[in-house]
A = this chain, B = another copy of it.
Amino acid sequence: MTLVLTLQPDDPTPPYQQVRRQLADLITAGLLGPGDRLPPLRQLAGDLGVAVGTVGRAYRELEQEGLLTSRRGGGTRVAAHARAPEGGRRQLLEGMAAEFVARARTLGFTDEEIIVALGRQLPS
C-alpha cells in the first residue's frame, strides 16, 4: 500500500517525532507488517518537505527500538519481530479511546454528551 504520512504545521510537536509516532502506530496497528518496505529517506523527506536528517532521525530511533531494520542501499523495512506483543493492536485502540474519553470528562462533558457526539461520527 501507499504509505500515508502527514505533517501538521501548526502542531508544535517536532516533525521527527510526528513521523516516528505515526510509523510506530502503523506497525502496532498491523497496517505495516514485517518485511514491508518504507519510503527511502530522500523521497519521504521530499514529500513531507523536511530535511533528510529529520526523517533519518525518525528511522534511526525506530530501529533502536527494534521496530525497523535499515541497511545502506537496501532501504528500511519493518523488522521481523516487530509484531505487536499479543494484542497490541487492541491495546492501541483502547488506549486511544480511554485518552479521548478522559479528556472529554475533564472538560466537564457528560457521558451522554460524549455518546451523542460519537453517534454523529459513527453509523451506529
Q: Which residues of A contact B (CB under 8 A)?
A: 4, 12-14, 17, 25-26, 29-31, 90, 92-94, 96-98, 100-101, 103-104, 106-109, 111, 113-115, 117-118, 120-124
Contacts and interface: CB of A to CB of B under 8 A. Distances in A.
A17 B11 CA distance: 10
A31 B107 CA distance: 7
Contact of A104 (B26, B93, B108): B93
Contacts of A31: 107-108
Contacts of A117: 90, 93-94, 96-97
Contact of A29 (B92, B107, B120, B123): B107
B100 A114 contact: no
Given A4-B106, A12-B13, A12-B14, A101 B114 contact: no
B12 A109 contact: no
Given A93-B113, A120-B94, A12 B4 contact: no
